[in-house]
Structure 1
């Protein structure tokens, strides 16, 4: 439980930074910063808890993630102008938040005794939907839909690594560490080295 809480807090903070950066790019006021930071911070976890019928939702039971999001929003509001490329920082912070959030989703679903398929889906949902909501509200092309980039694939692979870890070692931290390592490696590799999945290319019908 403590590990899951720590993951939720960490994911909330880093995702909130990305939401606030999106707000800075859209030139919003401080309330807009709070809103986008909070939405990004708790969006994925809220959907996860709603689907799993987890009562109450994590930030209702403990409003700390909302306070964390507000702190992150204030930090970005007063420092974003110092960044050379806010978009680049946003993308890399998102890449850092993704594996943490995926691990949180996997941890919650597993602690509730869900099947392997549900654990996989909840890992992906928790990791991707906060950023998806951020980008839609900020009127940006969602990072999760960037052509061919490893995003959902990275989240799914990380969740799978968490499920496979107990087959290799019985160390209690192994699933979380494996999830974070695999998710970040794939997402970072996609950004830094251009790792891609093949994309659909339409072909003219045969005559």
Structure 2
């Protein structure tokens, strides 16, 4: 950071206080979890960066009740709608799911279609509809491979209610009860 301010320092102190208070927290994996197979959640926070208006992408992949991979970062381009931001978030999640499928083949494991949950129905329609609408015409090709992978059955996008979106905690600040719920769903104890 080239010109840190007092606000940056205060934010840093807040992060350090949080980390000091969670040194005993770890990810727990269980054999008896009803969600043993690999599955993911992807989410975005539309135009969350006040300087660039880029959206934040977040995804988490879970297996045996605990997080095995997660990411939170600004999207590389500005999205013009919530659906587009969620679509680009889905593309990032698909890349990770494909990496897991490749890794499973290395270990001679069979990972069928990886379910990825999304809380935006317009984005799901864009993913599952091979015809490019006016809404998606301008989206960069780097994101459109998501449709091809869904059509091949390599990933399966499913709707999840926003209150059940585990990746929410990776894209935005949440009220404490919702934050704790997301943390628990990721296997953090």
Q: TM-score, normalised to structure 1's length?
A: 0.30
More strand by share: 2
Q: TM-score, normalised to structure 2's length?
A: 0.32
